[in-house]
A and B are shown apart, each in its own frame.
Chain A
Amino acid sequence: DIQMTQSPSSLSASVGDRVTISCRASQDISSYLNWYQQKPGKAPKLLIYDASNFDTGVPSRFSGSGSGTDFTFTISSLQPEDIATYFCQQYDDFPLTFGGGTRVEIK
């Protein structure tokens, strides 16, 4: 199975800060990487697919980049409503696997 390792596991930042989350795959997954946001008690929400493509209606402050084994998710200006857990998911091979998540809090 492809292992997905996210860092950090949690972070605290101020409103307006730039936030960066890393996701590393245990093998080359090309660009087959998605990013989700999950709030407590809710289903995940797709933000970015295929490493850098926005899902419909996703605010432009969210972005993704990377290919191969190293990927980055960025919130350019953290907003209070962005408090959530973010995680990555690879679809290069079955079984699909997910990162452990990064909890984002407001400082």
Chain B
Amino acid sequence: QVQLVQSGAEVKKPGASVKVSCKASGYTFTSYAIHWMRQAPGQRLEWMGWINVGNGNTKYSQKFQGRVTISSDTSANTAYMELSGLRFEDTAVYYCARPICSLSCHYIAFDIWGQGTLVTASS
């Protein structure tokens, strides 16, 4: 079945970087985008950015510009999100998600989500 499986929980010190992976299966990886969101405890979801896996183009939220890098490895059907310069307030569950339809359609609604990866920034 179609699924996204993320890497495990991470604990990092402030100032460090973290890289979360998102392995896709059950569909043609290069036909869909992958978006990354995060949810801090008790907070609303925040969109971080997305990658067009077909051509590698990326777009980031201005809030994370300069600190986040989204990439993909099509040979491994895996997308990655790297966040640098971690701060205490970056502690959150990070999700990858796939839109409901392929790159050629305009609906940006997420019907396939990874299970989430807890990233904790702690000294």
Contact = CB atoms under 8 A, between A and B. Distances in A.
A95 B44 contact: no
Interface string A27-60: 0000010101000000111100110000110000
A98 interface: yes
Contacts, number: 53
Q: Is the interface of A mostly helix, strand, loop or mixed?
A: loop
Main secondary structure of the interface of B (DSSP, over half): loop
Nearest to B59: A94
B77 interface: no
A63 interface: no
B108 A91 contact: yes
Nearest to B6: A43
B47 A97 contact: yes
Contacts of A43: 95, 97, 113-116
A55 B111 CA distance: 8
B45 A98 contact: yes
Interface in B87-106: 95, 97, 100
Interface of A: 32, 34, 36, 43-46, 49-50, 55-56, 87, 89, 91, 94-101
